[in-house]
Amino acid sequence: MTGATMAKRVVVGVCGSIAAYKAAEVVSALRQRGWQVRVVMTEAATRFITPLTLETLSGNRVAVDMFDRSNWEIAHIALSEFADVLVIVGATADVIGKIASGICDDLLTCTVAACDRPVFLAPAMNERMWKNSIVQENVGKLTRLGYRFIGPDTGYLACGKEGVGRLADPSTIVERLEKVACRGRGRTGRRR
């Protein structure tokens, strides 16, 4: 089977950011381009967008609860094995810090820790949070470890001001994932 005919599989992580609603656009666009999409949300993300919305757009059940026993699978392992690539849309300072510190206290961070495929983070937060020295230290650490960042962009923020911290345009996120898919999806290296 050639790379052009292989199904592309992505796990989309969604965090508790006002930008969570834009995950719907990313999920929809990926599915329209032929990707198989699974979504994992933090509990906080469900305050901004419902799992039902993302289930409808992805065509799959959304995973939120680490301890959901309605399926026999070990959720974070099954999700990490499913993925050709993982992207976190609206990555918060909290989730970035947890990943950088190896903290696995929810389904999303456990899935990232178990994932040996490329992991992208598309941050979304206030400019003051993005420029915080601890956040930047965590971003630097993750970059050195092979995690890839998409954005953030500069523009209108939820606080009503202009600045850096705006989620990258959903089309930009999709294009970056498409580029990885075009390079092949071998499963031998942690981050490519």
Q: Per-residue pLDDT averaged across 80-100, rounded? A: 97
At 132 the pLDDT is 98
pLDDT classification of 67: cutoffs 50, 70, 90: confident
Report the SS3 class of residue 22: helix
Residue 110 and residue 90: Cα distance in Å, rounded? 17
pLDDT in tens, 140-191: 999 999 999 999 999 999 999 999 999 999 999 999 999 988 775 444 344 4
Rounded mean pLDDT of the chain?
91
pLDDT, residue 6, reads: 55
> 148: closest CA among 178, 116, 118, 110?
118
Neighbouring residues of 141: CB distance < 8 A, sequence distance ≥ 6: 100
Closest CA to 58 of 97, 11, 109, 17: 11
What residues are labeled active site? 159
pLDDT in tens, 12-35: 999 999 999 999 999 999 999 999
Residue whose entry in the numeric block shows the structure tokens 């993300």: 45
pLDDT at 12: 99
**Among 48, 44, 4, 54, CA closest to 24:** 54
Range name among 17-31, 63-77, 131-145 with the lowest pLDDT average:
63-77
* Residue extents of the structural domains in the chain: 8-151+164-182
Asked if the 8-151+164-182 domain carries CATH number 3.40.50.10860, the reply is no
Residue 7: predicted pLDDT: 57
174 Cβ neighbours under 8 A, 6+ residues apart: 26, 29, 30, 33
pTM score, whole prediction = 0.91
What is the rounded CA–CA span in Å between residue 177 and residue 35?
10
pLDDT score of 42 more than 90: yes
Per-residue pLDDT for 1 more than 70?
A: no
Residue 76: per-residue pLDDT: 92
Between helix 75-82 and helix 107-114 the angle, nearest 10°, is: 50
For 112-137, what is the mean pLDDT? 97
